[in-house]
Structure 1
Amino acid sequence: MEPARKRGRSEMWDHFNLIAHDKVQCLVCSTELKYHGNTSSMIRHFTAKHGAAVNQGNTNVDRKRELDGALVNMVVKDSQPFSIVDDCGFKELVALLDPKYTLPSRRALKEMVVKRYEEEKTKAKAVMQRVEAVSLTADMWTSINMDAYLAVTCHYVDDSAKLATVLLGVLPFPETHTAVNITAAMRSLMEEWGTEGKVTSIVTDAGANMVASVRSLNLRHALCFAHSLNLVVKKSLDATPGLQDLRTRARKVVAFFKTSTTAKEKLREVQEQMNRPVLKLIQEVDTRWNSTYLMLQRLFKERQSVGAALATLKTDVKPLSSEDYETADACLQLLSPFFQATVELSEEKRVSGSKIIPMTKMLMLYLYDTIGKTSHDTATLLGQNMVSNMQNKFDTTESQTALTLSTLLDPRFKTIGFYNQVQAAASVKRLTAFCTQLRKNAQPDTPTEEQPSTSAQPALANVDNPSSTGLNLWETLDRDASEARKARNATADATVEVQRYMTDPPLERSKDPLAYWVASIKGYVWIMSRGCACFRVPA
């Protein structure tokens, strides 16, 4: 904010910032001074407070900026409040680390964070201008203070073939959550970030307003797989009568230890006496099925400690019986892979769209195998409900173009990732047709070769030569023949290339599929982003 005209008159502008038309701030100690159009007060302050620093020129200023930058990084990365610069303990730590460094004020720190935000946003926008294809994820959520927000995140493959993510915005959403309002907000963000025409898919939950919004934007829609799994398991849990009763009594046990300090202390005491880790019980949350899993899992693990603690406490809360724990254990075996799948997808740092079909396959196979082995009635009923709900929710997954291409083009899965091999074969044909079309589009238009005429057919030679008659009798046929040759070559080349890829052994599941394509690509550049697979032909 310092005026350029002043910088040439006094070196004090190397040590002060103009933060208002009548106020300046010292870069060394963040002290604010009145500014009356001259540097007199600045010189007096700097000579009195930082006399030694004047002789060191820009060294202290550079050091100040370096430490300010580190402070901003800490606040941003660790989600620290601006008030940290007023905390006595933090001030003492900073003074011990560097006595010459004076922390900025809370206001100055806020300004630096805002400035850093604008700088990083500008850089991110510049990167987004160079990106050719992106996928988006959008979600409506409510804060602890019951304020609604719309978050939109962009995913793309960067120049180093790594999956990159940019948060386009978290918008306050006081309006009603209608499709019209959501569409307007998302369109505004897409225009601001220049993603129009680049979005290959958008991932949301199955809410009617979100679905209608994506339809209005005319974008390919992909339902969030983790959210769909949550609905499948939650619906299955609610449809299992014996399990509902168990969950109700388990919630009462957990609530007792959560709300009673005496009970909580007794549980800790019992755990220590049994030489067990001191672990708190976990309460179920209605909106997240994994909390049900964690509640039952922790209760089962701490069943001896919980039982012993309840036996010594005066309470009407009944401990779970041995039969209850047998039911919980049997049901946990069915729920375990779903919990693992949810965690894996949530932590995924690489492509995730290609995992949906093979993960669905493995979950179904696990359910069939486990149901066949269990003899517990409640667990059997839960398993049957989960199979039914999985079939209803994911019945069309292996026929969705984006997901099938993602799975086929992931060298870890290919066709073995499909549950239905008929659908896998159809997807290979679809991929071959897609590659064929790309090859056709990539081929330059080549002129039709002229056939040499012979002296034995002078009349026909004159007919073939448009220059002699003013027309070309064979123009349409020659064009069709050229297109047929190009189509045949494109189909053959695409078929050979796809088959060669399919017959190669699959990549280890721990490997990065994007790195594989960078190392082995031939003819096409392959980009796979979250929820979609797309190609571009090299120039």
Structure 2
Amino acid sequence: MASKRKYSPLWNHFDEVVPSKKAKCGYCSRILSVSSSSIGSLSRHMKAVHPTIQINSSRQTATVATTARVSDSDMDNVQVPSCSTQADTATTELLVTHRQETGQQVPTMADYVQTKKCLPRIRIQQLDEQLVRMIAKGYHALRMVDEVEFRKFVEMLNPGYTLPTRKTLSQSILPRVYNKVLEKVKEQIKKAAAICITTDAWTSSVQDGYVAITAHFIDIESHKLCTVMIGCVEFNERHTSLNLKNFLEAKFSEWNINQYVNVIVSDNAANILSAVRLGGWRSLSCYAHTINLVVQSSMDAISDTMRRVKDIIEYFHRSAPAKKKFAEIQEQMHIAPLKLKQDVVTRWNSTYDSLQRVLKVKEALIATLAIMRPDISLSQEDWQTIEKATELLKPFTRSLLRSVVKRMFPHQNILCFPKL
């Protein structure tokens, strides 16, 4: 392979993997097989994956031609010598004549202006990794790198950078970035003196089971509360206490934190509480979930009124004419148009939010129902019940906002510190 490497400019863009007779692409890190007599795979790879990079045997840095146009203002900034010597003119004429005689294309001014240097490998790697971070943190689909207009946009921003394909992104760059972040987080969590775990299991709308595990600990250097998700995986086994216990043990062993787990916080489901006890860990029920259970239990006393409120909300959600009339009446009353909110049992504060919204649009709601559906209108007694219920639920809402929205969980701080 040495002779090929000596004479082929393709090796400017690949690193030889010894002794396996393979080559690693300097741009996307893909491993390709080569033989001692042929390096055609390298050429095909460059044409298919990095078509804008030109092969140049005279230097390591390749060049890439772009379609950028030179504006009149740019041309005005080009510095041209005010005079030239006869020797310069003669030399230029000689070069042009030689190129014409040999059939070589005579370069124009635009050729020199439009030619851009390819970015160094380290810079391409940095851009690739930042692309992955943008996709991950923005919850974008990997297919965005295949979108024509997005590729044009990136090329206009930096003609020297070629977007990786979706396959390269998923099989090479994404795993590389993930492993970097994984090692960094493992180093950070390894220094923790005590760890609090929060976990939850659920089933998606398409009946796929999932389990998430999050670790909370005090960083020993900055003394700040850190939160790291150490697992969010598909879990299609039965959600029995034994299966959940085995899953937790396996995940803790993977992160080598079994001995540092101080407490596990979960909802009040019997299977997860039993799983924590089986594993010998300390268990603590989620504060917000417990508060929500108290609220939902208290609603039984006013179930008739709540049922009538839900019927009204569902009616407006299903009926487009009713929804339109409701918005028109709010506008006539000089009220900012508001929609009714549905009460969802598993969503914290949704009962309070739903009743509060009904009270806020009370006059418009009464007027609309009188026209569209007088048979489901609320009685005066119902309105009094809603007002009292909203007043009673308000302290619970404030308590949940302090613990959930601000993310200040007292049990994490208290239970992590004793072992520091």
**TM-score normalised to the size of structure 1?**
0.58
Return the match for 2:232 from 156, 160, 170: 170
Return the match for 1:142 from 197, 203, 209: 203
The residue type equivalent to 1:329 in the other structure is E
Distance 2:251 2:7 in 1: 44
RMSD over aligned Cα atoms: 3.5
1:275-294 residue pairs with structure 2 within 5 A? 275-288=334-347, 290-294=349-353
CA contact (8 A) 1:135 1:530 kept: no
1:366 maps to none
CA contact (8 A) 1:162 1:350 kept: no
The residue type equivalent to 1:271 in the other structure is Q
Change (3 A) 1:194 1:335: same
Return the match for 1:274 from 328, 333, 336: 333
CA contact (8 A) 1:154 1:165 kept: yes
1:342 maps to 400
2:179 maps to 118
1:380-405 C-alpha deviation (Å, 9 max, x unpaired) = xxxxxxxxxxxxxxxxxxxxxxxxxx
1:437 maps to none
Change (3 A) 1:16 1:339: farther
Change (3 A) 1:23 1:291: farther
Unaligned runs of 5+ in 1: 354-527
Distance 1:48 1:182 in 2: 50
Distance 1:308 1:17 in 2: 76
1:50 maps to 53
The residue type equivalent to 1:50 in the other structure is I
Give the superposition deviation at 1:157: 0.2
1:82-121 residue pairs with structure 2 within 5 A? 82-111=142-171, 112-121=173-182
User: Within the alignment, does 1:260 sit opposite 2:319 as a pair?
Assistant: yes
Change (3 A) 1:318 1:269: same
Change (3 A) 1:171 1:35: closer
Distance 2:305 2:6 in 1: 78
**TM-score normalised to the size of structure 2?**
0.73
Distance 2:367 2:236 in 1: 49
CA contact (8 A) 2:193 2:419 kept: no
- For the residue of structure 1 that corresponds to 2:376, the secondary structure is coil
User: Within the alignment, does 1:70 sit opposite 2:130 as a pair?
Assistant: yes
1:462 maps to none
User: Within the alignment, does 1:133 sit opposite 2:194 as a pair?
Assistant: yes
CA contact (8 A) 2:132 2:174 kept: yes
Change (3 A) 1:312 1:9: farther
1:18-54 C-alpha deviation (Å, 9 max, x unpaired) = 9xx99987838x9x99864454564685797333961
Aligned residues: 352
User: Which deviates more, 343-352 or 52-61?
Assistant: 52-61
Return the match for 1:191 from 245, 253, 256: 253
2:289 maps to 227
CA contact (8 A) 2:194 2:416 kept: no
User: Within the alignment, does 1:329 sit opposite 2:337 as a pair?
Assistant: no
Distance 1:166 1:274 in 2: 49
Distance 1:222 1:280 in 2: 38
1:248 maps to 307
CA contact (8 A) 1:270 1:305 kept: yes
Change (3 A) 1:532 1:23: closer
Give the superposition deviation at 1:16: 5.4
2:141 maps to 81
1:74-102 C-alpha deviation (Å, 9 max, x unpaired) = 11111111122233443343344334433
Distance 1:104 1:264 in 2: 47
CA contact (8 A) 2:215 2:227 kept: yes
Change (3 A) 1:89 1:337: farther
Change (3 A) 1:350 1:228: closer
1:456-492 C-alpha deviation (Å, 9 max, x unpaired) = xxxxxxxxxxxxxxxxxxxxxxxxxxxxxxxxxxxxx
1:319 maps to 377
- For the residue of structure 2 that corresponds to 1:534, the secondary structure is helix
Change (3 A) 1:270 1:118: farther
CA contact (8 A) 1:267 1:309 kept: yes
Change (3 A) 1:15 1:257: farther
User: Within the alignment, does 1:352 sit opposite 2:414 as a pair?
Assistant: no
- For the residue of structure 2 that corresponds to 1:76, the secondary structure is helix
1:467-486 residue pairs with structure 2 within 5 A? none
1:459-470 residue pairs with structure 2 within 5 A? none
CA contact (8 A) 2:218 2:417 kept: no
Distance 1:338 1:17 in 2: 63
- For the residue of structure 2 that corresponds to 1:227, the secondary structure is helix
Distance 2:53 2:282 in 1: 61
Change (3 A) 1:224 1:532: farther
The residue type equivalent to 2:277 in the other structure is R
CA contact (8 A) 2:195 2:416 kept: no
2:366 maps to 307
2:121 maps to 61
1:251-303 C-alpha deviation (Å, 9 max, x unpaired) = 11111111122222333333334333332211112334522211111111122
